[in-house]
Every structure is written in C-alpha cells, then in structure tokens.
Amino acid sequence: MNLVIHLIGNAHLDPAWLWTWPAGADESINTCRTACDLLDLYPDLHITRGEAWVYDQVRKVDPRTFGRIQAHVRAGRWHIVNGWWIQPDCNLPGEASFLKQAEIGGQFFREHFAVHVDVGYNVDSFGHCAMLPSFLTRTGMNAYVFMRPQATEKKLPADLFQWQSPVGDTVTTCRLSAAYLAASVSNLIGNIHATVAAADRRVGHAMCFYGVGDHGGGPTRSQIGVFGQSSG
C-alpha cells in the first residue's frame, strides 16, 4: 500500500517558559509574521498554528499581521489547531481548568476567525491525564496530537490509536514518531526516515513535523525549496 507522508511545518512556542511577557509576545509575533511571508511567497504552502494566547498577542501588538492571518485562514491555508488558550501542563490541572481553557480559547477563535477548532494539539506537554479525551470531546475536539512521552519513555501499541477515557469518551490520537522540530534539511530527512519506519502501512498516511520548532521559527526557505512547496 502507498504511504503518504504529510510534512507539517511547525514552530513550537512555550511563550511562558522562563520568559518575560515581552519576550514571549515578541517571539510569537515574529513567528507569525514569518509564516505570513512564507505563505505569500509559496502559493501551495499551508501553515498550522495553535493557542489563542499567541494570536491575541499578534492582535494587540501587530494588527496588520493579525489581518494577514485572518485572510490566510479564510483562504484555507492557515489551519488553527488546539482550541485552548495555551498549551498547558496536562498532568496537574483539574477539570475546571481544562474546560475554562477551552471556553476562553474557543470563544476567541469563533469571534476573530469564525472557526470551530476540532483538533487538540499539545506536542510538548510532559504527560497527559487519563480524563483528557473527555475534556477534549466535551469541548468539541475529536482528535489529539502529542509527542511526549516518546517511544523511549513509554511503549504504545501504535502511534495512531483511539484513546478512551475512564468514562468512555474517545478521541483519535496521534503521537509524533519523530521530534516536533527539524531545524535543517538533514534533520528533516532523519525525521522522514523515522516517520516512515514507524508508520502503519494499513492506514496509508503519517505526519512528519519540520521547522525551527523550539521556541519559535518555523519552516525555513531551504527546507521548503528542497522538498517542494506543500506543507500542512
């Protein structure tokens, strides 16, 4: 069976991680501005971005870039994931915290982009509580993407699976086979090989992330140029 590898241009951000607000906001704005520039330059490129907090900093500080993002969302080339306010710690918070995150984030995306976000996305959260599928489904998200714990930390039957909470709620869940960043072309080649090796051929599809993805950045022009213009 043929295998389709979806290259996901990624710019991971931890805007509250040991940073002051100006530093986190500045990196968020620069990352989003660069993403808009790439979308203008490469007509077949697609960008994925989560977390309402990041969008809100752009809206408040750089309205012009925020307007560009809105235009790309309407055009179907900028895809909003993770309908929460921020990527959280998924071990310690209680139910009310998860639901409030989704309420605030969901309201923001409906108001400013007229979209309902249905993909949960916490690629760098260090663990995930057992009730998370219920918190996701109760707020309209039916899929989930994560990276940690990685294969060296916890063995799973497969990287793509149906995750069921103790009360029976289920989300389609995908663990990244390789790291969420690939800062160079050679890193990307390594991520592609790892993704192919771990892929379920019966499914026929797998995700591979790339880009300067640790604290901002995103896909580089050299990566896009080598591997074509398409990125999801």
Taking only the tens place, the pLDDT of each residue in 92-120 is: 999 999 999 999 999 999 999 999 999 99
- Confidence check: pLDDT of 73 > 90: yes
Q: What are the backbone dihedrals phi and psi of residue 229, each rounded to the nearest 5 degrees, phi first?
A: -90, -15
- Confidence check: pLDDT of 17 > 80: no
pLDDT for 225: 80
pLDDT for 59: 98
Q: How many CA atoms lie within 13 A of 128 on its CB side?
A: 26
- Record the tokens describing residue 14, joined without a space: 């931890």
Q: How far apart are CA 217 and CA 183, in angstroms?
A: 9
Residue 32: closest CA among 16, 20, 48, 14: 48
Q: How far apart are CA 69 and CA 5, in angstroms?
A: 26
- Confidence check: pLDDT of 222 > 80: yes
Question: Structural domain boundaries of the chain?
Answer: 4-227
Enter the CATH code of domain 4-227: 3.20.110.10
Q: How confident is the model at residue 51 (pLDDT cuts 50, 70, 90)?
A: very high
The model's pTM is 0.92
Q: How confident is the model at residue 232 (pLDDT cuts 50, 70, 90)?
A: very low
Q: How far apart are CA 86 and CA 56, in angstroms?
A: 11
Q: Please compute the mean of the pLDDT values over residues 117-131 and round it to a whole number.
A: 94
- Confidence check: pLDDT of 204 > 70: yes
- Confidence check: pLDDT of 145 > 50: yes
